[in-house]
Amino acid sequence: MSLFELRRTDHPTPEVERAAIVADPVFGKFYADHMAVADYTEGLGWRDARIIPTGQWQLHPAAAVFHYGQEIFEGLKAYRHADSSVWLFRPERNARRFISSAERLEMAPFPEELFLASLDELVALEQEWVPQPDGERSLYLRPFEIADEPYLGVREAKNYRYGLIASPVGAYYPAPVKLWITPNYTRAAPGGTGTAKCGGNYAASLAAANEAAAHGCGQVLYLDGAEHRWLEECGTMNFMMVTNDDQLVTPALGSILDGVTRDSLLTLAPEHGLTPVERPISIDELRDGVASGRVAETFACGTAAVITPIVGFNSPEHGAQAVGNGEPGPRTRELRAHLLDIQFGRAEDRHGWLRRVV
Ligand SMILES: *Cc1c(COP(=O)(O)O)cnc(C)c1O
């Protein structure tokens, strides 16, 4: 039984055109023909769950999202396996994180059952938009929620809208990056919104990202907001390091985002002879460890690139430093390949992480 009522487009993308897009996707440029939408009204709850043609939304200019930023989102992918079946990876975790993000921003939580149904039903309908698996191609899924009540008073809104759009994504061969340890910006403070996946965090990160680029770095490494001493995460990814005594160490949860990729890699670590460790890491420990060789490899992780190798650091106080020989390390490559193999059905799914859609 479907929870989303289907209203089909009269103008689907012509098959030849779609095939060309899906064969060589450009991230975030092309969208599947349909999207899932639902509306929330105080007192009535979530209703009118529907799958409709992807198109423009009309919002009143006083809609709360435009003024006070009540917006949250998620990101996950649908993977095609060699037998043509289509799967999601741990979508229940995205569903639960979406609820906790909503709670932090005083938004109406979108029920897990509806969240999963929107993914299942949209991906099943748009299965032709899921690329063939070669070259790590997949269908990127972007659930999000906004406050659409037209009201300029400052309080949580009474009306919300949920949306789910889908965009094919290409081979994301992550170029190794250097991280800029910014002296000027922090990402999150104790009691702040660091644990919520909200657009406002991203708006606030752009200045730091541009500062990093101006210093020849591909990403920012944020330190904590209170002491400016403890590693937090990169702008959009969690941070991990491999030590020379076989530990996979990552900052403990607190003001960072609880990444699905982070959790999955910690779970896989023992299969690679690594002990997973979640604890505070100071910038001094990182710097001394990289200098002495105790920190053998560093990388960032998240759904988009799975793992992005980090081959160096740069900071105004301490200058540039390379990790190891400046090349992606063997553990970094092995872990990345392992997770991709599970997602694309080439390795055994021992933890029951995959959810079949088609
Ligand atoms: C989404 C996100 C991540 C990665 O989470 P995944 O669930 O692994 O994709 C890490 N940090 C931030 C700030 C994020 O927004």
For 54-87, the pLDDT digits (tens) are 999 999 999 999 999 999 999 999 999 999 999 9
Residue 216, burial from CB neighbour count under 10 angstroms (0-12, 13-18, 19+): exposed
Instruction: Give the tens place of pLDDT for each residue, 173-232.
Output: 678 999 999 999 999 999 999 999 999 999 999 999 999 999 999 999 999 999 999 999
Instruction: Give the tens place of pLDDT for each residue, 264-291.
Output: 999 999 999 999 999 999 999 999 999 9
pLDDT of residue 40 exceeding 80: yes
d(C-alpha 42, C-alpha 101), whole Å: 19
Tell me, in angstroms, the distance from the centre of ligand 1 to residue 237's CA: 5
Q: Which two structure tokens, joined as six digits, stand for 32?
A: 């599947």
Q: Which pLDDT does position 210 carry in this prediction? A: 97
Per-residue confidence at 245, pLDDT binned at 50, 70, 90?
very high
Q: Which pLDDT does position 186 carry in this prediction? A: 95
pLDDT of residue 171 exceeding 80: no
d(C-alpha 202, C-alpha 94), whole Å: 18
d(C-alpha 243, C-alpha 219), whole Å: 22
Q: What is the pTM of this model?
A: 0.97
Residues 207, 208, 209, 211, Cα dihedral to 10°:
90
Instruction: Give the tens place of pLDDT for each residue, 287-327.
Output: 999 999 999 999 999 999 899 999 999 999 888 999 988 89
Domains of the chain, first to last: 5-169 (3.30.470.10), 177-344 (3.20.10.10)
d(C-alpha 281, C-alpha 206), whole Å: 24
d(C-alpha 138, C-alpha 141), whole Å: 9
Other Cβ atoms closer than 10 A to 92 = 14
Tell me, in angstroms, the distance from the centre of ligand 1 to residue 157's CA: 26
d(C-alpha 250, C-alpha 258), whole Å: 11
8 A C-beta contact, residue 176 and residue 313:
no
Residue 260 Cβ inside 6 Å of ligand 1? The answer reads yes
Distances (CA, A) of 176 to 154, 190, 249, 302: 43, 31, 19, 14
| Nearest atom in ligand 1 to 235's CA | 13
Q: Which pLDDT does position 170 carry in this prediction? A: 86
Tell me, in angstroms, the distance from the centre of ligand 1 to residue 76's CA: 10
Tell me which residue of 152, 347, 328 sits closest to 242, measured CA to CA: 328
d(C-alpha 101, C-alpha 197), whole Å: 6
8 A C-beta contact, residue 143 and residue 115:
yes
Q: How far apart are the first and last CA of the chain?
A: 15
Instruction: Give the tens place of pLDDT for each residue, 111-147.
Output: 999 999 999 999 999 999 999 988 899 999 999 999 9
Residue 251 Cβ inside 6 Å of ligand 1? The answer reads no
Tell me, in angstroms, the distance from the centre of ligand 1 to residue 187's CA: 13
Q: What residue owns the CA closest to ligand 1's atom 12?
A: 236
